[in-house]
Amino acid sequence: MNTAMTDAPILPILFHPAPILRAKARPVAEADGARVTELAARMLSTMYKAPGIGLAAPQVGEGLRLVVLDVAKEETPAPMVLVNPEIVAASTERAIREEGCLSLPGQYADVERPARVKVRYRALDGSRQEVEADDLLATCLQHEIDHLDGVMFTDHLSPLKRNMLIKKFLKEQKLKSREAM
């Protein structure tokens, strides 16, 4: 991937409760072509700038099955672009990891999910790809693919925990908008 991709102009990130975050995104079609390449580049810029390790198209207002992520721990970026990603296998073994979301900034909670997943997707050039993931990548893939189905990480929490977290988020947003006046 060329580094110019990450110099693309950033996009505004939508926060909860934007309705598109709750909608099912449509598959990317061949006809979407160059628009998707451009969108992926802008999503990567947006993700790095935030900063975050994953971003799904609905989070920037595009109802398309497109995800970008980079879970590299080193300084060298290792961006991944996944077109129409699909979880085709998940381990019965589960793992708990703390998650946050660029659409719910400042909020974190432990989420339990399958520890390992196999994901099929298309690269931007249309080639078929498959990745077997564990650890942080497994969590990130599941979190981002959830976004394509209108699912937020908070949906994996108990109703009590979920309501507390969302209330806290809305309260913090209210305070922020007041400070901005």
Q: Which residues are catalytic?
A: 144
* Burial grade of 46 (CB within 10 A; 0-12, 13-18, 19 or more): buried
DSSP state of 116: -
**Nearest-5° Cα angle at 9, 6 to 11:** 105
Residue closer to Zn ion by CB (options 75, 135) is 135
Could you tell me the smallest distance in angstroms from the CB atom of residue 103 to Zn ion? 5
Write 130-137 long-range contacts (CB < 8 A, 24+).
130/88, 131/80, 136/53, 136/71, 136/97, 137/69, 137/71
- Binding site residues, Zn ion, CB under 5 A: 101
DSSP state of 31: G
**Nearest-5° Cα angle at 15, 4 to 176:** 105
Could you tell me the smallest distance in angstroms from the CB atom of residue 60 to Zn ion? 12
3-state secondary structure of 82: strand
Q: What is the CA radius of gyration of the chain?
A: 16
Could you tell me the smallest distance in angstroms from the CB atom of residue 143 to Zn ion? 6
Could you tell me the smallest distance in angstroms from the CB atom of residue 20 to Zn ion? 13
Could you tell me the smallest distance in angstroms from the CB atom of residue 106 to Zn ion? 13
Report the distance separating Cα 120 and Cα 84, nearest Å: 8
Residue closer to Zn ion by CB (options 36, 68) is 68
